[in-house]
Amino acid sequence: MARLKISLILASGARLGPGKAALLESVRDTGSISAAARAMGMDYKRAWTLIDSLNRAFDTPVVERATGGSGGGGATLTPFGADVLARYRRIEAAATQLGEGDLKALDGHAVPDAGPKV
């Protein structure tokens, strides 16, 4: 089935797309950047780079880290981060609903194996 992949590009050029949204959800669900990265099959450095890029993209952080210690560290979505994620998912759902008929029409003409995906 044909589907949409939505990427938001801010005026600064910063981007928020399906991968970063999934990473935010994983941080929310695991309470840790390293656990979120492991759950997604991603190395910690890559996950941290993506989180850092989101934190730099806005005037308010989307993820806050707690440094380690006897109780260990962790990470949480800030209220703003939860809002960013919710807005992204609403935009994604609205675009999918709006394009449903066109996606079905295009999918009806798609061949099962179109060769290499370039």
pLDDT in tens, 18-67: 999 999 999 999 999 999 999 999 999 999 999 999 999 999 999 998 87
The mean predicted confidence, pLDDT, of the chain is: 93
| pLDDT at site 70 | 60
DSSP 76: E
3 or 59: which leads in pLDDT:
59
Q: Which domain holds residue 52?
A: 15-100
CA-CA distance, 30 to 113, in Å (whole number)? 38
| pLDDT at site 25 | 98
Q: Specify the CATH number for the domain of residue 20.
A: 1.10.10.10
Report the number of distinct structural domains present in the chain.
1
Confidence of residue 115 (pLDDT cuts 50, 70, 90): confident
Residue 114 CB neighbour total at 10 angstroms: 7
| pLDDT at site 79 | 98
